[in-house]
Amino acid sequence: MDRPLQNTTVGRYIYDQVIQIVMRRTRTVEHNGVSLTLSMPNIQNYYRVSTFSTKEPETLEWIDGIPENSVLWDIGANVGLYTCYAAKARGCRVYAFEPSVFNLELLARNIFLNDLVDRVTIVPLPLSAELSTSTLNMTSTEWGGAMSTFGEDYGHDGELMTKIFAFPTVGLSMTDAAELLKIAQPDYITMDVDGIEHLILKGGKPILGKVKGVLIEINDEFAAQANDASTYLKQAGFTLQAKKHADYFDTVSTAARHTFNQIWIR
């Protein structure tokens, strides 16, 4: 009986070589005079890297307006595209919050590839309203995947998510991150966590009071998220300056059509 290739010595060697080749694959992108080398092991990351300048131009524009050497919290950093850009383009001290075990490796690789180890700190824990133990519920196990939610069963649109993987972990509030982990108070916050943005804001009121600007992804049709996020930000003294997304998203029929990056200022 023939054995599957992966159960043979030759097969295991081939698989090992393929994985190593894939994980070494990178691509260099340039935006506004800043060059970044980014890990590109799969189609998901090929898309992320290929659309770096066009998928969220408003996020890059917002980062370009941050004063140099600011402290930035990138909440929902994924594989670190905007983390690395902020650290390299503006010299920011970035705290990259990313709980996905599948994204953390690429986040670390991208930080290292761009010689940003001294400017970026990875925080591999989810943020929420309070300190708690729960599960990170995930719709993807791909490198660079998104649509994960800590402690809740709904996704970015407020609808029940299709969970294919979960693992138990500890979540904490923004206030806990500063007080318990001694993470520096942010000057600016960017947040994209696909659904519980409002809960994170709820748990960070003392932090928000000292923040100078916030960029946050909100789905206008997810009423609880949109209304609560607006309330917490206004209570912290912010005013909505603009909400933007790339023109492409106006042509789609998915929830992305109603999802915008909101820019809040003092």
Question: For 6-53, how does the pLDDT look when each residue is reduced to its tens digit (9 = 90+)?
Answer: 678 777 777 677 777 777 889 999 999 999 999 999 999 999 999 999
Do 84 and 116 contact (CB within 8 A), yes or no? yes
Determine the average pLDDT of the residues in 195-217.
Answer: 97
Q: Residue 1 pLDDT more than 60?
A: no
The bridge status of strand 259-265 relative to strand 239-244 is antiparallel
Q: How much is the mean pLDDT over the chain?
A: 94
**Distance from C-alpha of 234 to C-alpha of 131, rounded to nearest angstrom:** 24
Cα–Cα distance measured from residue 102 to residue 164, given in angstroms and rounded to the nearest whole number: 13
Q: How far is Cα 128 from Cα 138, in angstroms, rounded to an integer?
A: 16
Q: Residue 3's pLDDT is what?
A: 63
CA–CA separation, 75 vs 72, rounded Å?
9
Domains of the chain plus CATH, in order, are 42-265 (3.40.50.150)
Q: What are phi and psi for residue 137, nearest 5 degrees?
A: -95, 125
Rounded Cα gap, residues 88 and 203, in angstroms: 29
Instruction: For the chain, give the percent of residues with pLDDT over 90.
Output: 85
Pick from 107-121, 182-196, 245-259: least confident: 245-259
